[in-house]
Amino acid sequence: MSVASVTLDSNRGRDRTDARNDALFRWALRFCALLVLAALLGAALSTLWGGREVLFGDGWRFLTSAQWNPVENRYGAWAPIYGTLVTSLIAIVIAVPLSFGIALFLTEIAPAWLRAPIGTGIELLAAIPSIIYGMWGLFVFVPFMAAHVDPLLDASLGRLPWIGTLFQGPPLGLGLLTAGIVLAVMIVPFISSVMREVFQTVPVRLKESAYALGSTTWEVAWDIVLPYTRQAVIGGIFLGLGRALGETMAVTFVLGNAYGLTASLLMPGTSISSSIANEFNEAAGLHRSALIALGFLLFVVTFIVLLIARWMLRSLQRKAGKA
Amino acid sequence: MSTRIHRRRHAKNIAAQVLASAATLLALAFLVWILWETISRGLQAIGISLFTKITAYADQGGLANAIVGSAIIDAMAIALSAPIGVMAGAYLAEYARSTRLGATIRFLNDILLSAPSIVLGLFVYVIVVLPMTAVTNGTTTFSALAGSIALALIGLPVIVRTTDEMLQLVPSTLREAALSLGIPQWKLTVQVLMRAAGSGILTGVLLALARLSGETAPLLFTAFGNNYMAFGPLEKMASLPAAIYQYTNDPNPALHAIAWAGALLIALFVLALSLLARTVFARGKTSHD
């Protein structure tokens, strides 16, 4: 046997082990990537399974009934659903104009040297753990609302016909409005960073053309930048909405955990996530099943909202990639 | 006539600019307000006993067991999520860059990134805590392991996404050069590409740690809590966020003070990690060029 054929043989052996290792490696990586899918699917299926007694036992009544009564073992999810929707809606109504203002400031108004530090500051709001928002909300913001904001709203907006009922009530500080405001502060960094990012994708020549025609900064932002980025901006808003719907700790402390349904935003309420956090460890049997069923509902709703968000953001990335 | 229109447009522009600046100031004011309250109230309760005494002493105690518990649970969570996340990210970047499966996983990973953490806690409760209770006849129920799995699910998408993005940034000439030398693809991925993207991947792991270490909701029904020191992964274990949650719900103001000190510890840890991630990333960038 010649030397050359020996090395050729050993090379062939090595090729074979390399090929086998490559295949193994590829499968290991693919397995890990599929775990991401498994996590989402598992979260949906396991909460569906854990809440099956209530979800399949009560059907639609679980969604529409407002009676949540652990003593009689009857569970209707309308009060937590209502609380989740209302607090998230308040958060969006406050956070969207704020975020737009911030994005506008950081892309068009602020001098260049100020943009990076202020941008970092706004992003820090997203880094603060939600339990700290909750503590700050309960010990600092609730007393502030009770002392200054609630009485003011009750005396001014509360006197108006129609919308007055929204703002009437004792100055508790706790309640749907307070939770909505805390949520708004939490989601502002998410929405504003998406807006800021997409505002920067607007072609400079488009903006400069508008400026050359004599547009003001506001007109460029409102008539050029916003229409150009509309879809991604809506995606960013849905992203913030997804966050607000699922947020637990920040709202649990400031909502007041009350199952009564009231029209007033100044009254305590509950939300899906705070019901779960408050009651899960004391619950057993059907009560626990009802809480897991609430978790399933929350997961489905946030999944749909986030799906819309990512879909709208994805098509923008494509556009930016092409341009 | 034309001056009136001009004046009105000008006024509108000024108003918009003032409002936008005010919005930014308002958001920053909230940041300063929250940080200020956390720091000033937290500092008042920080002392030696916070680190030496356990929560069983209540208002005479500290958070020693919660600090140790958080360290153990967070370490296990990152040990679980980092390898899986890096491998999943490598799959997306190296094997599924433009396949339909890759696009689907990337898309769903972004959803997992903002999925409600409390539902992930329920998920782990159903698939880990309940079976564990059934298998051990109730001797093991809630456990640190379950808590760390829940937190790992929160850290995972962060790591997957950054690894994917960082590997995609590695120039393809590096891949071609290595492959032309006859290196098998797994070696290329592990020894060349991951090294080139190392600082970026590390940034992702640090950000994931920052994110999961502040999470509270999923721990409540997985690791539960414990008023005593615990070290075993199958024991109920205290954690800083869960202890803060418990103390904040308590009417005793002395416990509130301890909770603020705990909140300050978490805030410092998270902010330090975020800063560290930024510097690691910046340094990696400069050494690359």
pLDDT tens profile A299-314: 999 999 999 998 888 7
Contact (CB<8Å) B214/A129: yes
Locate the chain A residue with the closest alpha carbon to B88: A33
Residue A33 sits at the chain B interface (C-beta within 8 Å): yes
Which of 132-161 (B) contact A at CB < 8 A? 153, 156-157, 160
Mean pLDDT along residues A237-246? 93
pLDDT-derived band at A62 (thresholds 50, 70, 90) equals confident
Q: Which of B36, B99, B118, B133 to mutate to test the interface with A (most CBs of A within 10 A)?
A: B118
Residue A295 sits at the chain B interface (C-beta within 8 Å): yes
Structure tokens at A281: 């460890």
* DSSP state for residue A169 in the 8-state scheme: S
Q: First vs last Cα of chain B: how many Å apart?
A: 58
Chain centroid offset of residue A63 CA:
22
Neighbouring C-beta atoms of residue A140, cutoff 10 Å = 16
Percent of the residues in chain A that have a pLDDT greater than 90, as a whole number:
55
Q: Which of A33, A105, A247 sits opposite B91 (nearest CB)?
A: A33
Contact (CB<8Å) B22/A139: no
Residue A134 sits at the chain B interface (C-beta within 8 Å): yes
**Which of B70, B52, B71 lies closest to B62 in space, CA to CA?**
B52
Secondary structure (DSSP) of A231-259? HHHHHHHHHHHHHHHH--HHHHHHH----
pLDDT-derived band at A158 (thresholds 50, 70, 90) equals confident
User: Which residues of chain A are within 8 Å of residue B260 when distances are taken between CB atoms?
Assistant: 135, 139
Residue A106 sits at the chain B interface (C-beta within 8 Å): yes
Dump pLDDT digits (tens) for A107-145. 989 999 999 899 989 988 988 999 999 999 999 999 999
Q: Which of A136, A243, A295 sits opposite B37 (nearest CB)?
A: A136
Give the integer Cα–Cα distance in Å for B29 and B50: 30
Contact (CB<8Å) B217/A249: yes
**SS3 for B88?**
helix
User: Which residues of chain A are within 8 Å of residue B245 when distances are taken between CB atoms?
Assistant: 131, 134, 249
Give the integer Cα–Cα distance in Å for B237 and B215: 15
The predicted pLDDT at position A12 comes to: 76
Give the integer Cα–Cα distance in Å for B204 and B61: 36
* Cross-strand partners of A74: A69
The predicted pLDDT at position A318 comes to: 56
Contact (CB<8Å) B27/A33: no
Residue A323 has pLDDT above 50, yes or no: no
Which of 13-42 (B) contact A at CB < 8 A? 13, 16-17, 19-24, 26-28, 30-31, 33-35, 37-38, 41
Locate the chain B residue with the closest alpha carbon to A245: B116
Q: What is the dihedral of CA A25, A26, A27, A31, to 10 degrees?
A: 100
Contact (CB<8Å) B92/A33: yes
Helix (H) / strand (E) containing A75: strand A74-75
Contact (CB<8Å) A127/B274: yes
Give the integer Cα–Cα distance in Å for A13 and B66: 54
Q: How many CB pairs under 8 A join A and B?
A: 262
Which of 213-232 (B) contact A at CB < 8 A? 213-217, 220-221, 224
User: Which residues of chain B are within 8 Å of residue A40 when distances are taken between CB atoms?
Assistant: 108, 111-112, 115
Locate the chain A residue with the closest alpha carbon to B36: A136
In this structure, of A60-69, A176-185, B95-104, the range with the lowest mean pLDDT score is A60-69
Q: Which of A18, A39, A314 sits opposite B156 (nearest CB)?
A: A39
The predicted pLDDT at position B288 comes to: 45
Residue B235 sits at the chain A interface (C-beta within 8 Å): no
Q: Are A68 and A259 in contact (CB under 8 A)?
A: yes
Contact (CB<8Å) B31/A216: no
Locate the chain B residue with the closest alpha carbon to A297: B119
Residue B210 sits at the chain A interface (C-beta within 8 Å): yes
Give the integer Cα–Cα distance in Å for A296 and A305: 14
**Which of B78, B79, B105 lies closest to B91 in space, CA to CA?**
B105
Structure tokens at B265: 């510890």
Domain ranges of chain A: 3-50, 77-322
* Cross-strand partners of B93: none
Contact (CB<8Å) A47/B185: no
Residue A320 has pLDDT above 80, yes or no: no
Residue A53 sits at the chain B interface (C-beta within 8 Å): no
Q: Which of B157, B210, B271 sits opposite A36 (nearest CB)?
A: B157
Contact (CB<8Å) B122/A42: no
Contact (CB<8Å) B117/A246: yes
Secondary structure (DSSP) of B272-283? HHHHHHHHHHHH
Q: Which CATH superfamily is domain A77-322 in?
A: MetI-like (1.10.3720.10)
Give the integer Cα–Cα distance in Å for A123 and A99: 12
Give the integer Cα–Cα distance in Å for A214 and B14: 15
Chain centroid offset of residue B15 CA:
39
Structure tokens at B102: 């890759």
Q: Which of B22, B116, B267 sits opposite A132 (nearest CB)?
A: B267
pLDDT by residue for chain B (289 residues), tens only, comes to 578 888 899 999 999 999 999 999 999 999 999 999 999 999 988 888 889 889 888 888 889 999 999 999 999 999 999 999 999 999 999 999 889 999 999 999 999 998 999 999 999 999 999 999 999 988 888 999 999 999 999 999 999 999 999 999 999 899 999 999 988 988 899 999 999 998 899 999 999 999 999 999 999 989 888 888 889 898 899 999 999 999 998 889 999 999 999 999 999 999 899 889 888 887 766 544 4
Token match 């050029």: residue? A224
Q: How far is B30 from chain A (nearest CA, A)?
A: 7
The predicted pLDDT at position A60 comes to: 81
Contact (CB<8Å) A248/B216: yes
